[in-house]
């Protein structure tokens, strides 16, 4: 009997650009210290990124444990 197909994921496929963007998020936090999401977006120049790319990179960095979010919403490098 064949194996069932894998369960669908809501994460979507990660590409090289996503990994690069996640790295930019982490490096910006390491260089500038804890930041609000708005400050972090300014540090990485997210206004020049494609729509939703910053939020996706940030969400994946948090999910992967590279960035932590404090109770007040401040982002910290791990």
Is there a domain that residue 6 lies in? no
Domain extent at residue 55: 16-77
Is there a domain that residue 34 lies in? yes
Q: pLDDT at position 64, please?
A: 92
The bridge status of strand 67-69 relative to strand 75-77 is antiparallel
Is there a domain that residue 31 lies in? yes
> How many domains are there within the chain?
1
Is there a domain that residue 63 lies in? yes
- Angstrom distance (rounded) from CA 21 to CA 62: 13
- Angstrom distance (rounded) from CA 10 to CA 3: 21
Q: pLDDT at position 15, please?
A: 79
Q: What is the CATH number of the domain that holds 35?
A: 1.10.10
- Angstrom distance (rounded) from CA 68 to CA 34: 10
β-partners of residue 35 are: 75
Q: What is the residue-level pLDDT of the chain in tens, covering all 78 positions?
A: 676 665 555 555 677 889 999 999 999 999 999 999 999 999 999 999 999 999 999 999 999 999 999 999 999 999
């Amino acid at each position: 009997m064949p194996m069932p197909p894998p369960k669908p994921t809501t994460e979507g496929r990660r590409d090289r650009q996503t990994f690069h963007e996640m790295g930019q998020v982490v490096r910006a936090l390491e260089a500038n210290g804890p930041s609000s999401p708005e400050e972090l977006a300014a540090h990485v120049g997210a206004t020049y990124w494609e729509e939703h790319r910053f939020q996706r990179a940030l969400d994946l960095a948090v999910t992967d444990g590279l960035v932590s979010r404090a109770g007040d919403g401040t982002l910290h490098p791990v």
